[in-house]
Amino acid sequence: MDRRVVVTGLGVIGPLGNDVPSTWKALQEGKSGVGPLTTFDVSSYEARIAAEVKGFDPTLYNIDKKEARRLEKFIQYALAGTYQAIKDSGLDLEKVDKERVGVIVGSGIGSLRIIEEQHKILLEKGPSRVTPFLIPMLIVNEAAGKIAIDYGFYGPNTCVTTACASGSHAIGDAFRVIQRGDADVMITGGTESAITTMGIAGFCALKALSLRNDEPTKASRPFDRNRDGFVMGEGSGIVVMESLEYAQKRGAKIYAEMIGFGQSCDAYHITAPDPAGYGASLAMKWALRDGRLNPQDVQYINAHGTSTKLNDKVETEGIKKALGDHARKVMISSTKSMTGHLLGAAGGLEFVIACLAVKEDIIPPTINYDVPDPECDLDYVPNTARKCPVSVAMSNSLGFGGHNATLVVKKFK
């Protein structure tokens, strides 16, 4: 379990851009990817805004146009992120031992769209008219499976579904696979496309979404006193991780070294977080212990920071419990203020951001932070990115069901 693990390739499909450079530039500039929802008629919905992926063309990522019709968007986004990450990593697929390459990609929901479409067909035309592709189009594991099929990767291949912590758990599991020597290279992260009639309706019913429909770019406002809910997002965040020995042998560039993974459960409620932040604090503490770090070693936390009343308060409490006095000194930002909440893909995208923060020594801001909340009283890097040394960064994910995951990366030396 002492094998060192490094990140060598990054891929992103998201509301701020369909590649890493455009997404990273927009994050530094504090731009919002939220706008009016365009994919269906939302006139009867309470929440009418979302952080949609824009201008996505699957053929740009080596996805055949005909095949794309049989692949739901969450699978296409995962394939596109993988295509970018592998290209970025410089892996020579002709030379790599594909028995030593695995895939773990998480998703919270999979495809609601195909269920909605085919249920209507079932009711109107009968069971014989339901597409034979229904099941493979909707099940969550098909993203990881399709990546392996397309590239011929025979190594460990699984899928994680822990709601909004799915992407982070997938990355943590992939980290462990490499640590224990079961693979040399892992393709991992999260993917999601749940901006559908049922997806938006379900979260509206939960009273979880922001209703700031007239000011979409200001709707996601984590830790701000006037926050009123999260904004649905979509996309993927995929990374290539390798054992250090393997990466160095092939002369790979290295973004960051992953050194810690912590996971816990609130054991409290099916949707609400533990008000004391106890479960979240355990994930952070255990991630630091796993990385053999002290709280004061951490410069930056990419927070889960959903912009809901409960989550932001609870995460703040969890950070205080985990870091003690250092909580007042650490820099924290929620990039969901710009990307919206990608649900099962959030952890993947935010891990990419944490790696870039460490590599570039830049901390993206929490935008729309206008009115401080007395219950959220830490440094949330309000509105403007900071250029400063970042040796160690943490990324938090908290999911419905009480699932918590924390990932820790450090500057590679």
Per DSSP, the chain holds a count of helices (H) and strands (E) of 13, 14
DSSP secondary structure of 206-231: TT-B---TT-GGGT--TTBTT---B-
**What's the gap between Cα 219 and its chain centre?**
19
Q: Which amino acid is at 360?
A: E
Active-site position among 204, 341, 355, 403: 341
> Reduced to 3 states, what is the DSSP secondary structure of residue 400?
coil
| Three-state DSSP state, 249 | helix
161: number of Cβ within 10 Å = 18
Cβ-contact 217, 98 below 8 angstroms: no
Is 355 labeled as catalytic in the residue annotation?
Answer: no
- The letter for the amino acid at 294 is N
119 carries an active-site annotation: no
Q: Single out the catalytic residue among 159, 164, 355, 376.
A: 164
Tell me, rounded to whole angstroms, the distance of Cα 399 from its chain centroid: 11
**101, 29 Cβ separation under 8 angstroms:** no
Is 204 in the active site? no
* Euclidean distance between CA atoms 205 and 191, whole angstroms: 23
The active-site residue out of 159, 169, 204, 304 is: 304
Task: Just list the catalytic residues.
Answer: 164, 304, 341
